[in-house]
Amino acid sequence: MGGARPAGGSDFVYRCCLVLCTVAIAVFGITMLYVQGSGAQASPAAKQAALPRQSAHIKTVRPHRIVRHAARTARAGPDERALTGISERISNNTLAIISGGLGSTDLTVVQELAAALDDGDDLRILPMVGAGGRNIRDVRLMKGVDLGVTQASLLARMRADGELGRTDDRVTYIAKLFNEEMHVLVRADSGLGSIDQLAGRAVSMGEPGSGTQLIARDVLARLGIAVREVNMAEPNAIERVKAGDVDAVILIGGKPAPALANVSGLRMLPVPFARPLRDDFLPASLLSDDYPGLIASGSSVETLAVGTVLIANNWPKDSEQYRKIEKFVAAFFPQIAQLQTPPHHPKWREVNLAATIPGWRRFPAAEGWLAQHRDGVGERAQFERVARVRRAQTDSTEGGGQRVRQAPQWLSARARR
């Protein structure tokens, strides 16, 4: 009996040691797996250094806190996630169109377009006040500007100057819009009777960088008329002309120009359609119906016109900017008929979606839309041409001899364009 106890005791101790060793090995193995999983990117030296401080390393990671943080974010975030979604939706469906300055026909037309196409958060148009002459550059280079309104003659000038480098494959057009007329105003009691008499006089040509400034300079240079250029906004210039501080003000805008609404005490000077101007301009007339306070009843004043264009960058087809403009085209083009009805600006009636800009590429999405609706657009364009001819014939019959002489020239120029 005395020999059995030691054997049993040693066996018990042996089993205890075996269990303790097994537990230690298991703990060590689990620890190593955890360390390898948490620090897979750590260097071998860092892993080796971390082994003696296993408990400290595990406390630093604290995975349960990460889980609790994610849970709190999920519980507290519905409103924030909803606002984020709305923000992305608005941003992805909003286009900014840069146009002319305050009181310009361009800005009025873009504002009407924005009102017609507004579809809540699905499509919004933001009209931007621009400098006219800088709109091409802004569309090409400024972030946040999707589309722009500019004059066709400025597109040609930009290409010739090479200011923005190669633009043939960079700047595209959505559609040719309407024509803008040149308005030259002097005091009603002024002795000035023709534009060439402005030589050496103070003439306001709009604000620096505006389309009015660039086009007025071009026209006067082609006519060989050197003036003392003054630059200011149209409202200020009109008041300065009335006060006698400035001899004349030039304004480029689609008739009737909003800046000239309710203006009196001034009169228009004619601008001849001279040969040096015929490559880039059109003959046009300003009527007493357009400006009853500036042109005598039943009379008209001959002048020039230049076409305006809605332009865009030539974005890649897989870009977000391309998708936005494609969506704009799909909403804008079907609305032309509605925009050409009162009370919208009369210049909408000149818009012909099928018209092209020689030497320039149309935005692919716009070209694709027209290809799909070519028959309908062609029929409407023909109908509008016939309607314009009939209106012109009626006007020439009722408006006296001067307008009878001008009508064929006006119609032939429209037909060429």
Do 276 and 318 belong to one domain? yes
Higher pLDDT, 128 or 166: 128
User: Is residue 1 situated within a structural domain?
Assistant: no
Do 212 and 110 belong to one domain? yes
Do 321 and 403 belong to one domain? no
Residues 312-344: pLDDT tens digits?
999 999 999 999 999 999 999 999 999 999 999
Q: The domain spanning residue 137 has which CATH number?
A: 3.40.190.10
Residues 270-318: pLDDT tens digits?
999 999 999 889 999 999 999 999 999 999 999 999 999 999 999 999 9
User: Is residue 18 situated within a structural domain?
Assistant: no
In the structure encoding, which two tokens stand for residue 269, read together? Answer: 């000077």
Helix (H, G, I), strand (E, B) or coil at 303: strand
User: Is residue 44 situated within a structural domain?
Assistant: yes
Do 153 and 285 belong to one domain? yes
User: Is residue 12 situated within a structural domain?
Assistant: no
User: Is residue 38 situated within a structural domain?
Assistant: yes
User: Is residue 191 situated within a structural domain?
Assistant: yes
Binned at pLDDT 50, 70 and 90, residue 22 comes out as low
State the residue range of the domain holding 260.
90-372
Strands 171-187, 228-230: pairing is unpaired
Do 187 and 43 belong to one domain? no
Picking from 301, 304, 303, 329, the residue whose alpha carbon sits closest to that of residue 315 is: 329
Asked whether the beta carbons of 175 and 353 are under 8 A apart, the reply is yes
Residues 60-117: pLDDT tens digits?
445 455 555 555 555 556 677 667 666 777 778 899 999 988 888 999 999 999 999 9
Do 239 and 254 belong to one domain? yes
CA dihedral angle for residue 387, residue 388, residue 394, residue 400, rounded to 10 degrees: 180
Do 388 and 301 belong to one domain? no
Do 204 and 62 belong to one domain? no
Do 54 and 105 belong to one domain? no
Q: How far apart are CA 191 and CA 124, in angstroms?
A: 50
User: Is residue 24 situated within a structural domain?
Assistant: no
Based on the structure, what is the number of domains in the chain? 3
Do 288 and 405 belong to one domain? no
User: Is residue 299 situated within a structural domain?
Assistant: yes
Residues 193-241: pLDDT tens digits?
999 999 999 999 999 988 899 999 999 999 999 999 999 988 999 999 9
- Supply the DSSP string of 220-289, one letter for each residue: HHHHT---EEE---HHHHHHHHHHTSSSEEEEEEPSSPGGGTT--SEEEPP----GGGTTT-EEEEEETT
CA–chain centroid gap for 10, Å, is 92
* pLDDT at 50 > cutoff 90: no
Do 254 and 291 belong to one domain? yes
Do 142 and 209 belong to one domain? yes
